[in-house]
Amino acid sequence: MNNSNKLYWLLQICGWGLVGLTMLFFAHVYQANIPTGILLGRIAIVFTTGILTTHILRLFIKWRGWLLQSIERVIPKLIIAMVATSMIYSAIILTEVDFFGLHLAIPGSYKLSFINRLMGSTVDNGLFILPWVLIYYFYHFIEKSRKQQLDTLQLESLIKELELKTIKSHINPHFIFNSLNSIRALVVENPQRAREAITELSNILRSSMQIDKSETVPLEKELNIVKDYLALENMRFEDRLKIEYNIDDDTLDQQVPPMMLQTLAENAIKHGISKQVEGGVVRINSDFKNDFLELTVQNTGQLNGKTNGGGFGLSSTTDRLNLLYGDKAKFEIKQVDPFLVEAKLLLPVHA
């Protein structure tokens, strides 16, 4: 028996035990001349019948899934269930009282029909069932709300952790150091290009730090960051890196996750071009395919048996797509020919 069940039965026993003690208290205060056997018998019936009927009500509530429904929908159902339970509770008590002969010596009460006695008893006993229903339901309502808040906080924490890791993955220290070294070499040789490179590096860092401020950005803005990134890498690789852009102008206003295309471009450089002695090409493509925006990053290189998710950059891409689009977006990386790797994004088209 788990802790919640132990608490439930403890409260059941204590609650209906309190009802029995209340009956004893009023019998003593009003000095009712009720034989001890009859009084204790009626208390025992009230106690056991109360536990039985409310437990059945609890099972019914759980079976019908009322604890999962909104408070607006469930209140009318609880009212009906409370009236029905009070009537059943009263009917069982009256039947047992008649069976065991535990009638109180109230003049004329025995002349009332069973139905009339049931109606009056239902109203009285409803005062016991009502607080039980309120306590039981609102206890679970508060627990459900607390659990939902906890789940929401945990989800937000996981998302923030993922965003933080994603941001860190974009601020690659090796890339920054390499860029700064290249810029330093240009300061004397080509001051104009050095100033441009500083601006490009600043744009990339600014975009990386602002990634958590919006879920998506226009492709044109994302493409500008990719161009800055590849321009900086071009300083390092020089003739070993060839860059091509095949961009459909109609796709430039489409919304894409920030820094995602840049992640794929960085992956192409790190795992493709940098491993080729003679360098190679990085090709950025955008187009519409059916109801999707298709973005591809192609690079010279080989996968070496690795597919989707090889490394944090690619796994974070998959995770971010799942968070933003569910199963409406697709990502894959494959070897399209012996010397060319392609990373492809398919994103829902925004009208």
Task: Report whether 220 contacts 253 (CB < 8 A).
Answer: yes
**pLDDT tens column, 215-224:** 788 999 889 8
Kindly report the pTM of this predicted structure. Answer: 0.50
**Average pLDDT in the 286-291 region?**
90
Q: What is residue 322's predicted lDDT score, i.e. its pLDDT?
A: 82
- Tokens 């920030």 — which residue? 258
Q: What is residue 257's predicted lDDT score, i.e. its pLDDT?
A: 87
Residue 28, pLDDT above cutoff 60: yes
**Average pLDDT in the 225-240 region?**
86
Question: Rg (Cα) of the chain, in Å, rounded?
Answer: 37
Question: pLDDT band for position 294 (50/70/90)?
Answer: very high
Q: Which of 45-49, 102-106, 332-336 has the lowest mean pLDDT?
A: 102-106
What topology is assigned to 171-348 in CATH? Heat Shock Protein 90 (3.30.565)
Nearest Cα to Cα of residue 52 among 3, 99, 91, 110: 91
- The residues spanned by each domain of the chain are 3-166, 171-348
Q: What is residue 91's predicted lDDT score, i.e. its pLDDT?
A: 92
Q: What is residue 306's predicted lDDT score, i.e. its pLDDT?
A: 47
Q: What is residue 55's predicted lDDT score, i.e. its pLDDT?
A: 92
- Using a pLDDT cut of 70, give the percent of the chain over it: 85
Q: What is residue 312's predicted lDDT score, i.e. its pLDDT?
A: 47
One-letter-per-residue 3-state SS of 270-319: HHCHHHCCCCEEEEEEEEEECCEEEEEEEEECCCCCCCCCCCHHHHHHHH
CA distances from residue 220 to 92, 159, 215, 255 in whole angstroms, order as listed: 75, 26, 15, 9
**Average pLDDT in the 113-118 region?**
81
Question: pLDDT band for position 308 (50/70/90)?
Answer: very low
Q: How far is CA 250 from the centre of its chain?
A: 35
**Average pLDDT in the 138-142 region?**
85
Question: pLDDT band for position 49 (50/70/90)?
Answer: very high
